[in-house]
């Protein structure tokens, strides 16, 4: 669904605020890190929720933070731009208390408050939009989004009255044996009229099994006030699963990953040899007719062009790969660019803005750091290229090292076009090898090599002027 459609299905005169609960530690994660910071698809849970919230074009997004507040803020600050208001809940006394932390902002507001949980990452914007649309149509002051679960264990149950209308929510721990049979559960996603929400919240008491202030008590209180409370039963329970344990985190990762790969196959025309062993970030793009072998990880904002072949054991992170590129087995490519028609690996390592220009080749056990390899150039075996700029049609022999570090500073190596660097050459930077030159095998190049020269030795000296020889031949 397009964003403008999303706006259309809502009444736009009532301001909309989103409130995201994200203060809890998530004890069942057995982690020192706050639950909402754990990642699926390479992004923190809170970021997934934040993106869904943003799609509603809210007036403000209130994020209730507590555990690792600064880290949680940092995870979504950029995403939210100026819309975010981070509210501290110093002590986690329950979901009701969490919402109460935002009362100074919202208690007198007539806005529509949409409450989301920071640990429910798969909710779709479309679902939320129809939920809000239904809520507004119903004239209720509170709507609860529910789903039916085959195994509702752990969730709050939606109790309905004799005429099948909403009666209350009861938490697992407070439920009777009969209530625990109920399969309709509270997703933890709600719409409220702001002032009604806060007037009811003020009356919530922690008189329950957990001694917490439950947000789930609010709908019942509103009902008792004679207000209308609505339940919206959603058909797809997977969207509202909350992450509570590492096992669930892994299940979600799997689900997200399967969806990403499936979409790339069905819509993107990408071949996966084994979809269940392919790890592609939701933010990555892969072009048509590319083939991804098992155990490839494509992370972050990576783009891979058309007709590429990526072999097993390779990891590509935040990089751009052109068309018709072959990446052989077990390469690590981070923050780098590989232009079209290149071949890389096996066992190559590209990092820190390495750039391979069109048609160039990097072979086995070659590391390229902060370096540019020009068009039609090759570095095939056992080489370190660091802080180097290499021209076109240049060949870097086996075992070449750019000695870029003198113990204090990094220095540049420049190798111009049409150069042949002999096997086992040490290029002691800063150094420049002129166009058309050759270094003999085993040279230690400590001084600039003029164009069209052959150097050899330790340290390397000019042995021959190649152009003169050519001129002599001509004469």
Binding footprint of Ca ion, residue count (CB under 5 A): 1
Site string for Ca ion, 240-279 (x = CB under 5 A): --x-------------------------------------
| DSSP percent split of the chain into helix, strand, coil, nearest 5 | 25, 30, 40
Min CB(81)–ligand UD1 separation in Å: 22
Known catalytic membership, residue 381: yes
CA–CA distances in Å: residue 123 to residues 12, 50, 196, 242, 287: 22, 11, 25, 10, 27
93 binds, among ligand UD1, Ca ion, none (CB under 5 to 8 A by kind): ligand UD1
- Of residues 243 and 419, the one with the C-beta less far from ligand UD1: 243
Nearer to ligand UD1, 220 or 424 (CB): 220
- Residue of 57, 277, 330, 381 with catalytic role: 381
Q: Which residues are at the interface with ligand UD1 (CB under 6 A)?
A: 21-24, 64, 89, 92-95, 97-98, 117-119, 155-156, 169, 171, 185-188, 214-216, 242
405 DSSP 8-state letter: B
Task: Mark the segment that binds Ca ion (CB under 5 A) among 41-49, 127-135, 237-245, 340-348.
Answer: 237-245
Picking from 416, 423, 336, the residue whose alpha carbon sits closest to that of residue 371 is 336
Q: Residue 322: name its binding partner from Ca ion, ligand UD1, none (Cβ under 5 to 8 Å by kind).
A: none
Give min distance, CB of 99 to Ca ion, in A. Answer: 15
Residue whose CB is less far from Ca ion, 175 or 456: 175
Beta strands in 131-277 (DSSP E): 142-148, 157-160, 166-170, 184-193, 229-233, 271-272
Please choose which of ligand UD1, Ca ion, none residue 130 contacts, taking the beta carbon within 5 to 8 angstroms, the exact cut-off set by kind: none
> Are the C-beta atoms of residues 18 and 60 closer than 8 Å to each other?
yes
Tokens of 467: 């152009």
C-beta atoms surrounding 90 within 10 Å: 9
Joined tokens for residue 393: 């049609």
* 42 near Ca ion, judged by CB under 5 A: no
Minimum distance between the CB of residue 242 and ligand UD1, rounded to whole angstroms? Answer: 4
Smallest gap from Cβ 238 to ligand UD1, in A, equals: 13
- Torsion sign, CA atoms 332, 338, 341, 343: negative
CA distance 422 to 125: 59
Alpha-helical runs (H) found in 318-383: none
Q: CB within 8 A of 68, min separation 6: which ones? A: 33, 34, 37
98 interface partner picked from Ca ion, ligand UD1, none, CB below 5 to 8 A per type: ligand UD1
Minimum distance from CB of 87 to ligand UD1 (Å)? 10
Which residues are known to be catalytic? Answer: 381
Residue ranges that bind Ca ion, judged by CB under 5 A: 242
């Amino acid at each position: 669904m397009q964003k403008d459609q999303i706006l259309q299905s809502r009444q736009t005169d009532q301001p909309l605020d989103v409130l995201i609960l994200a203060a809890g530690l998530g004890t069942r994660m057995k982690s020192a890190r706050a639950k909402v910071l754990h990642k699926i698809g390479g992004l923190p849970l809170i970021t997934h929720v934040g993106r869904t919230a943003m799609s509603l074009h809210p007036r403000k997004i209130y994020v209730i933070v507590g555990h690792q507040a600064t880290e949680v803020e940092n995870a979504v600050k950029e995403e939210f731009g100026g819309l975010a208001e981070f509210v501290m809940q110093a002590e986690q006394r329950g979901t009701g208390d969490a919402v109460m932390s935002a009362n100074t902002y919202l208690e007198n507001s007539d806005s529509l408050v949409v409450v989301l949980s920071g640990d429910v990452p798969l909710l779709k914007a479309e679902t939320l939009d129809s939920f809000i649309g239904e809520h507004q149509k119903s004239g209720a002051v509170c709507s609860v989004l529910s789903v039916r679960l085959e195994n509702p264990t752990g969730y709050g149950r939606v109790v309905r009255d004799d005429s099948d209308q909403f009666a209350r929510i009861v938490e697992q721990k407070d439920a009777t044996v009969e209530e625990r049979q109920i399969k309709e559960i509270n997703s933890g996603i709600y719409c409220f009229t702001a002032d009604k929400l806060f007037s009811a919240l003020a009356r919530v008491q922690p008189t329950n099994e957990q001694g917490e202030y439950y947000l789930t008590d609010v709908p019942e209180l509103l009902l008792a006030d004679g207000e209308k409370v609505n339940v919206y039963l959603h058909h797809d329970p997977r969207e509202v699963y909350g992450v509570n344990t590492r096992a669930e985190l892994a299940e979600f990762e799997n689900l997200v990953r399967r969806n990403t790969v499936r979409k790339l196959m069905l819509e993107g025309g990408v071949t996966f040899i084994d979809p269940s062993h392919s790890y592609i970030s939701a933010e990555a793009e892969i072009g048509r007719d590319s083939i991804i072998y098992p155990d490839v990880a494509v992370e972050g904002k990576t783009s891979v062009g058309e007709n590429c072949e990526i072999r097993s054991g390779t990891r590509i992170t935040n990089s751009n790969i052109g068309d018709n590129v072959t990446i052989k087995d077990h390469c690590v490519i981070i923050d780098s660019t590989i232009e079209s028609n290149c071949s890389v690996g096996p066992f190559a390592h590209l990092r820190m803005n390495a750039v391979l220009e069109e048609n160039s080749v990097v072979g086995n056990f070659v590391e390229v750091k902060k370096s540019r390899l020009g068009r039609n150039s090759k570095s095939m075996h056992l080489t370190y290229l660091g802080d180097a700029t290499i021209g076109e049609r240049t060949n870097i022999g086996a075992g070449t090292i750019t000695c870029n570090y003198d113990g204090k500073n990094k220095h540049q190596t420049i190798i111009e076009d049409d150069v042949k660097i002999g096997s086992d050459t040490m290029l002691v930077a800063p150094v420049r090898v002129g166009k058309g030159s050759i270094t003999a095998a085993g040279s230690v190049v400590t001084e600039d090599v003029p164009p069209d020269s052959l150097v050899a030795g330790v340290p390397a000296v000019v042995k021959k002027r190649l152009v003169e020889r050519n001129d002599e031949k001509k004469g």
